DNA sequence: CCAATCGGATAAAACGTTTTATCACCAGTA
DNA sequence: TACTGGTGATAAAACGTTTTATCCGATTGG
């Protein structure tokens, strides 16, 4: 007799049909104020809670949106405490729309994405799948509303939200140039150059760097690009190379973790920051303000990124919202203590 | 005619009953090798994928496990890049068991947890709900398998996985004592003392600190406890108080972020670490190795925490596994550069 | 006064599975 | 021969919703 109470029990107790109860729950068909109130009272009394799987079977939906992140995708800033904020933004937005978020890390090569169809996911948010990623066509083929974060995909059919990486990198580089630096090393990450466009985020930052050089009439020199992993260790190792490059007085790292590794590495070489070298990072991690010295960096509002993406996705799901577009979020340069005027070291040396 | 193909289509195409198809899918009833192969072939040919909501309706399950985290719970180290690793561990473990993870941040006071029943979640992982939290009885009342992470709940009925905070704190304190420090400031967080036991993690660390003092025959002095927020800012502010405490030569912070704030604050006061003050943190964040100086801290394997928790939960769901227990994971002291012998400053001053 | 409209409610048919009870068949055994 | 037991397969009854088509007044319009 320990039977979960369902819509039929409510109907019976209220003396109405189950269709009416359903209508009350979903606020759909026509039902008089009086019966509505009665049904609602009964629902509360009985403590009825709907059986969502049943509803989902009938409606062919799931009220679930999937967030897909790469588990170990090379070239991503995988060690960053980056995803959490993003996820927090998504989750918050989804919950307002009575959706829930289902998270899954995927293996680029193998993953079949079958669960999307199986579970009848209502939408998908894909993080960090670049232009060349096999994931992109696979997701598109699913026929499910989707939005890509940090992807810079060329197809105008796809919904995207990205940071204005190019402007951010431009601002960072221009800041260094304004301080008198002429040769600025670049820590780009270690993917092969011909693949760089596939990692759109990094490519855009490279473009921003070039923009700023060009604007200042400075040459873009290939030997200033350091291809090392986008990690603390990579940045640390980069210090050796930076120190060996003649006339280089500044470095721009494409992530804060790299920048932190670099600062540490430079110090171990006996170099001081910003006295001997200026350093700029990218991301503005919450710790970047508290490193010593505090890191000059490009800030992005990751939480907002998540919020914007989910809002866009829900719009797609509900059929409202523009057919497809790319939303670009602003990047902001935050000047702290790792950057200073060029020539300080030279002045001392002379 | 654009009809999603279901189990009936497979059955028709294979010339068998739907029951048989169901059996081969689930590997349940008896079905001959021959027909099994035939059905499997048809399934592949037709590209059939099961409709999970339908299955879930029938089986009254969801193959979903929920992860519940506090959104803004006071006293938690909310800014830490902590949750992501935990979640990664959980997700990995769940996926092996064909479960998926549904994430939700909850508002302690308001949240009704209704979605657990509505969606027929198979299990719940609750993070950081202390002994006094209203969440705990609510989860227990749900009657769903659950495991609590970082909770230190007294009830032996509840499944828990925690770090060995007490031993970790003991090791940290003993390390400082071994270096000759006699008065060690403690950055505990800012919850009122009488509520401290509710934040089990912090309380255990306090106990570990006391253990070490007692072992060394040192007094436990209440005025060494600094009640400031468990954040970078809190640690930063603590520096003023630490500097004002007579004869204090070391500090133990209950999180790395606090420790980092403290180091920064001390430096702004003109104090050097570890020359004037030794500092120990807790957590071993991935950045802690790269701060300057590198942080001495207590390390915990957060990924493993997630993995262990989900394994425990799946055991509960499947009915195997011990009825209920508390798993304690080891903590390890990592000595880096923020700790050094006491008396260095005194020696200089004299 | 008849037809048309409308508000309120309902019966019953799905939705795509799993599962229980049953069946047909055959081989061995009494 | 009749019975038992096992193997392979199936028909049909759920599971708890949503939704479509229908119905029954009562009101309105001509």
Instruction: Return d(Cα A78, Cα A100) in angstroms, integer.
Output: 25
Work out the burial of residue B57: count CB atoms within 10 Å of its CB; fewer than 13 is exposed, 13-18 middle, 19 or more buried: buried
* Same domain, yes or no: B212 and B340: yes
Distance, in Å, from the CA atom of A223 to the CA atom of A287, rounded to the nearest integer, reads 31
- The CA distance from B197 to the nearest CA of chain A, in Å, is 28
Band (B75; pLDDT cuts 50, 70, 90): very low
Cβ-in-10-Å burial (0-12, 13-18, 19+) of A339 comes to: buried
Structure tokens at B43: 């399934």
| Among A45-49, B69-73, B289-293, B328-332, the least confident range | B69-73
Q: Stated in angstroms, how far is A33 CA from C14 C1'?
A: 29
- The candidate with the shortest Cα–Cα distance to B245, out of B275, B228, B267, B223, is B223
Residue A78: is its pLDDT beyond 60? no
pLDDT of residue A227: 92
A175 in the same domain as A159: no
Question: In chain B, positions 177-236, which contact chain A (CB-CB < 8 Å)?
Answer: 232, 236
Residues B218, B339: one domain? yes
Supply the pLDDT for residue B131. 85
Model confidence over B107-121: pLDDT tens digits?
A: 766 778 999 999 999
**Residue B22 C-alpha, separation from nearest chain A C-alpha, in angstroms:** 15
Is the backbone of residue B145 left (phi > 0), alpha (psi -120 to 50) or beta? beta
Residue B76 has pLDDT above 60, yes or no: no
Q: Average pLDDT for residues A78-106, to the nearest whole number? A: 84
**pLDDT of amino acid B319:** 79
Q: Is the pLDDT of residue A341 over 70?
A: yes
Around Cβ B183, how many Cβ atoms within 10 Å?
17
User: Which residue is closest to A294 within chain B, CA to CA?
Assistant: B264
**Does position A165 have pLDDT exceeding 60, yes or no?**
yes
Distance CA B173, CA B250 (A): 10
Residues 44-103 of A with CB under 8 A from B: 49-54, 56-57, 62, 64, 71, 79-81, 83-84, 87-88, 91-92, 95, 100-103
**What is the three-state SS of B264-328?**
HHHHHCCCCCCCCCEEEEEECCCCHHHCCCCCEEEECCHHHHHHHHHHHHHHHHCCCCCCCCEEE
Q: Does the beta-carbon distance from A51 to B118 stay under 8 Å? A: yes
B314 with B284, same domain? Answer: no
pLDDT at A254: 94
Question: Domain of B16?
Answer: 7-50
* pLDDT range class, residue A236, cuts 50, 70, 90: very high
pLDDT tens track for B195-217: 766 668 889 999 999 999 999 99
User: Are both A18 and A141 inside the same structural domain?
Assistant: no
Q: Provide the shortest C-alpha distance from residue A46 to chain B (in Å).
A: 14
**pLDDT tens digits along A121-159:** 999 999 988 888 888 999 999 999 999 999 999 899 899
CA atoms within 13 A on the CB side of B190: 14
pLDDT-based confidence at residue B73 (cuts at 50, 70, 90) = very low
Q: Is residue B55 part of a domain?
A: no
Closest CB to B79 among A57, A119, A286: A286
- Beta-carbon contacts of A199 under 8 Å, excluding residues fewer than 6 positions away, are A75, A130, A189, A191
Rounded Cα distance between B270 and B265, Å, is 9
Interface contact flag, B100 A83, Cβ < 8 Å: no
How far: B288 CA to C25 C1' (Å)? Answer: 73
Q: pLDDT tier at B2 (50, 70, 90 boundaries)?
A: low
| Higher-pLDDT residue of A302, A348 | A302
Residue A198, pLDDT score: 65
Chain A residues touching residue B286 (CB < 8 angstroms): 79, 81, 232, 257
Taking 80 as the threshold, does the pLDDT of residue A81 lie above it? no
Buried b (16+ CB within 10 A) or exposed e, A58-91: eeeebbbbbbbbbbebebbbbbbbbbbbbbbbbb
Question: What was the pLDDT predicted at A130?
Answer: 82
B277, B197: one domain: yes
Asked if A138 and A267 sit in the same domain, the reply is: no
- Classify residue A345: in a domain, yes or no: yes
Among B68, B292, B297, the strongest candidate for a mutation testing the A interface, having the largest count of A CBs within 10 A, is B292
What is the band of B74 on the pLDDT scale with cuts at 50, 70, 90?
very low
- Angle CA A18–A23–A27, to nearest 5: 160
CA A172 to chain centre: 20
Quick one: B199 and B339 in the same domain? yes
Answer yes or no: is pLDDT of A216 > 60: yes
Most confident of A271-275, B83-87, B342-346: A271-275
pLDDT at B53: 98
Provide the mean pLDDT of chain B: 89
pLDDT at B348: 43
Sign of the CA dihedral running B209, B210, B216, B222: positive
Closest of B137, B148, B143 to residue B121, by C-alpha: B143
CATH number (domain holding residue A121): 3.40.50.2300
The more confident residue out of A344 and B181 is: B181
Q: Which of A67-71, A328-332, B66-70, B86-90 has the highest mean pLDDT?
A: A328-332
Identify whether B307 is part of a domain. Answer: yes
How far is the C-alpha of A147 from the C-alpha of A130, rounded, in Å?
Answer: 13
Q: How many domains does chain B have?
A: 3
Q: pLDDT tens digits for B278-287?
A: 999 999 987 7
Contact criterion met (CB < 8 Å) for A84 and B88 = no
- Tell me the mean pLDDT in the region A19-44: 94
Contacts of A326 by beta carbon, 8 Å cutoff, 6+ apart: A159, A160, A161, A162
- Asked if A118 and B261 come within 8 Å (Cβ–Cβ), the reply is no
Q: Are residues A46 and A77 in the same domain?
A: no
CA atoms within 13 A on the CB side of A331: 24
Q: What is the pLDDT of residue B197?
A: 63
Q: Provide the pLDDT for residue B82.
A: 75
**A158 and A77 within one domain:** yes
Distance in Å from D16's C1' to B156's CA comes to 36
**For position A37, which CATH number holds?**
1.10.260.40
A57 in a domain, yes or no?
no
- Of A75-84, A197-206, B270-279, B292-301, least confident by mean pLDDT is A75-84
Instruction: For residues B171 and A117, give the distance between their C-alpha atoms in angstroms, rounded to a whole number.
Output: 51
Question: Which residues are in reach of strand D, CB within 7 A?
Answer: A 4, 6-8, 18-19, 22-23, 25-26, 28-29, 48, 50-51, 54-55, 57-59; B 15-20, 23, 29-32, 34-36, 54, 57-58, 60
Q: What is the pLDDT of residue B165?
A: 96
A200 and A73 both lie in a single domain: no
Non-local CB neighbours of A46 within 8 Å, separated by 6+ positions: A5, A9, A10, A13
Query: Is 90 exceeded by the pLDDT of residue A2?
Result: no
pLDDT value, residue A71: 64
> Is residue A256 domain-shared with residue A341, that is, in the same domain?
yes
Out of A90-99, A237-246, B57-66, least confident range: A90-99
Average of per-residue pLDDT values in chain A: 89
* Residue among B71, B103, B291 whose CB faces A101 most closely: B103
């Amino acid at each position: 007799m320990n039977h979960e109470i369902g819509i039929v029990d409510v109907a019976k107790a209220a003396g109405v049909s189950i269709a009416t109860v359903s209508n009350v729950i979903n606020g759909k068909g026509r039902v008089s104020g009086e019966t509505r109130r009665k049904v609602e009272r009964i629902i509360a009394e009985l403590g009825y809670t709907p059986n969502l799987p049943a509803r989902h079977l009938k409606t062919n939906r799931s009220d679930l949106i999937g967030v897909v992140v790469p588990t170990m995708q090379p070239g991503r800033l995988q060690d960053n405490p980056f995803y959490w904020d993003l996820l927090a933004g998504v989750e918050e937005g989804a919950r307002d729309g009575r959706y829930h978020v289902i998270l899954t890390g995927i293996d680029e090569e193998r993953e079949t994405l079958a669960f999307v169809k199986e579970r009848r996911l209502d939408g998908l948010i894909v993080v960090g799948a670049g232009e060349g990623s096999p994931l992109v066509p696979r997701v598109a083929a699913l026929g499910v509303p989707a939005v890509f974060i940090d992807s810079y995909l060329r197809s105008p059919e796809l919904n995207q939200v990205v940071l204005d990486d190019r402007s951010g990198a431009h601002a960072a580089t221009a800041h260094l140039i304004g301080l008198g630096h002429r040769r600025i090393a670049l820590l780009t990450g270690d993917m092969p150059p011909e693949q760089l466009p596939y990692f759109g985020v990094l490519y855009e930052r490279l473009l921003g760097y070039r923009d700023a050089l060009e604007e200042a009439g400075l040459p873009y020199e290939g030997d200033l690009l350091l291809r090392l992993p986008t990690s603390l260790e990579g940045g640390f190792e980069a210090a050796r190379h930076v120190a060996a490059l003649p006339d280089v007085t500044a470095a721009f790292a494409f992530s804060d973790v790299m920048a932190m590794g670099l600062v540490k590495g430079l110090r171990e070489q006996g170099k001081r920051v910003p006295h001997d070298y200026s350093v700029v990072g990218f991301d503005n991690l919450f710790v970047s303000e508290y490193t010593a010295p505090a890191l000059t960096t490009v800030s992005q509002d990751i939480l907002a990124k998540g919020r914007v993406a989910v809002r866009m996705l829900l719009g797609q799901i509900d059929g409202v919202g523009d057919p497809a577009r790319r939303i670009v979020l602003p990047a902001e340069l935050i000047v702290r203590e790792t950057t200073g005027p060029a020539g300080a070291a030279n002045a001392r040396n002379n």
